């Protein structure tokens, strides 16, 4: 996908070009499904072979619908929890903070150091949008997250966790649940069958990245630890976006409709003691 070595040569890091490109192309549609005025400026700074992404207009629209739904879950959370903390795991060059900022959220964009280096050059860090240059599997980064007393945390992981082994994802989710009880997680998942299709596309575009974590049922995560609860799911097939180009009959084939989804989970009980919180600063108030 890249003409030069980008993001330290990490194959998964380079996949961030795919959703970035989808958001750029989307801005040329007469009614974009998602507004991302910064996206075009971000690609200007990257020397990549964009033609190699090789996705149809419908595929690109599906990626944008996915981003729009992640935005919706995040906005809903910020409506319920105006003074909250969001950790955007594997943020890549996504501008979700700029799209959903409610003026009071404390936001952390987390990605591998080479990606955060590039991000920093293109989108400066700000008072409420902090950058964490680390692997999400590193055990130290949760120490850098500060949470207002009594407020809650949402972890947002779009197109990230699927690239890792089940054991890694399970261990991570358990640790988030133990460390931030009452937090929420939004992640997309694929069935094992859908993973094979995704990996075929990655092979066709000569990307060495491969997806590994698949689930047959999003509720599988509930068995990972006490207190993990599936809350709701978004399916691309409930209300098909016409530009994705799916015929209506496809919504009657469970193998396809269950193949991929975006899910919201509750990680433990919000009442559990949290020793990592800091007092609420006097200048931050829930927006009314």
Ligand X SMILES: C[S@@+](CC[C@H](N)C(=O)[O-])C[C@H]1O[C@@H](n2cnc3c(N)ncnc32)[C@H](O)[C@@H]1O
Cβ atoms of 209 and 12 within 8 Å: the answer is: yes
Q: Does 109 bind ligand X (CB under 6 A)?
A: no
Q: Which is nearer to ligand X, 87 or 105 (CB)?
A: 87
Burial of 235 (0-12, 13-18, 19+ CB in 10 A): middle
CB of 230 to ligand X, least distance (A): 21
Pairing of the two strands 183-190 and 260-267: antiparallel
* Residues contacting residue 287 through CB under 8 Å, at least 6 positions apart: 82, 102, 103, 104
CB of 186 to ligand X, least distance (A): 11
Q: Does 16 bind ligand X (CB under 6 A)?
A: yes
What are the backbone dihedrals phi and psi of residue 238, each rounded to the nearest 5 degrees, phi first? -70, -40
Give the span between the Cα atoms of 207 and 223, in whole angstroms: 33
Give the span between the Cα atoms of 77 and 182, in whole angstroms: 13
Q: Which is nearer to ligand X, 13 or 194 (CB)?
A: 13
Locus of tokens 């903070």: 97
Candidate list 78, 159, 176, 267; residue touching ligand X; CB under 6 A: 159
Closest-CA residue to 36 (of 64, 76, 73)? 64
Q: Does 129 bind ligand X (CB under 6 A)?
A: no
Taking CB under 6 A as the criterion, which residues in 36-75 touch ligand X? none
Q: Which stretch binds ligand X (CB under 6 A): 133-141, 169-177, 236-244, 276-284?
A: 133-141
CA 281 to chain centre: 28
CB of 89 to ligand X, least distance (A): 6
Q: Does 34 bind ligand X (CB under 6 A)?
A: no
Candidate list 136, 147, 195, 228; residue touching ligand X; CB under 6 A: 136
Candidate list 94, 109, 129, 198; residue touching ligand X; CB under 6 A: 94
Q: Does 137 bind ligand X (CB under 6 A)?
A: yes
Candidate list 68, 84, 90, 228; residue touching ligand X; CB under 6 A: 90
Candidate list 1, 60, 83, 115; residue touching ligand X; CB under 6 A: 115
Q: Does 135 bind ligand X (CB under 6 A)?
A: yes
* Residues contacting residue 275 through CB under 8 Å, at least 6 positions apart: none
Binding site for ligand X (CB under 6 A): 12-13, 15-16, 19-20, 90-92, 94, 110-112, 115, 135-137, 158-160
């Amino acid at each position: 996908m890249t003409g030069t070595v980008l993001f330290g040569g990490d194959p998964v890091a380079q996949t961030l070009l795919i959703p970035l490109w989808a958001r750029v192309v989307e801005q040329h549609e007469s009614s974009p499904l998602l507004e991302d005025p910064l996206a075009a400026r971000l690609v200007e700074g990257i020397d990549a072979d964009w033609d190699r992404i090789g996705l149809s207009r419908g595929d690109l629209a599906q990626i944008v619908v996915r981003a729009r739904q992640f935005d919706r879950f995040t906005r809903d959370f910020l409506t319920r929890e105006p003074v909250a903390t969001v950790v955007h795991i594997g943020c890549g060059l996504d501008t979700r903070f700029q799209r959903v900022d409610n003026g009071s959220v404390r936001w952390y964009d987390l990605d591998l150091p080479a990606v955060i280096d590039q991000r920093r050059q293109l989108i400066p860090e700000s008072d409420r949008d902090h950058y964490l240059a680390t692997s999400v599997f590193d055990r130290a980064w949760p120490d850098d997250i500060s949470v207002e007393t009594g407020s809650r945390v949402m972890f947002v992981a779009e197109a990230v966790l699927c690239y890792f082994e089940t054991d890694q994802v399970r261990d991570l989710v358990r640790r988030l649940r133990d460390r931030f009880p009452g937090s929420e997680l939004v992640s997309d998942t694929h069935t094992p069958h859908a993973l094979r299709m995704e990996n075929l596309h990655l092979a066709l575009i000569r990307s060495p990245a491969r997806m590994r974590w698949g689930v047959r049922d999003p509720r599988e995560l509930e068995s990972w630890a006490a207190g993990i609860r599936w809350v709701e799911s978004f399916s691309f097939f409930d209300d098909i976006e016409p530009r994705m180009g799916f015929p209506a009959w496809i919504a009657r084939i469970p193998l396809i409709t269950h193949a991929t989804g975006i899910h919201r989970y509750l990680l433990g009980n919000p009442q559990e003691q949290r020793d990592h919180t800091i007092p609420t600063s006097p200048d931050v108030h829930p927006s009314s």
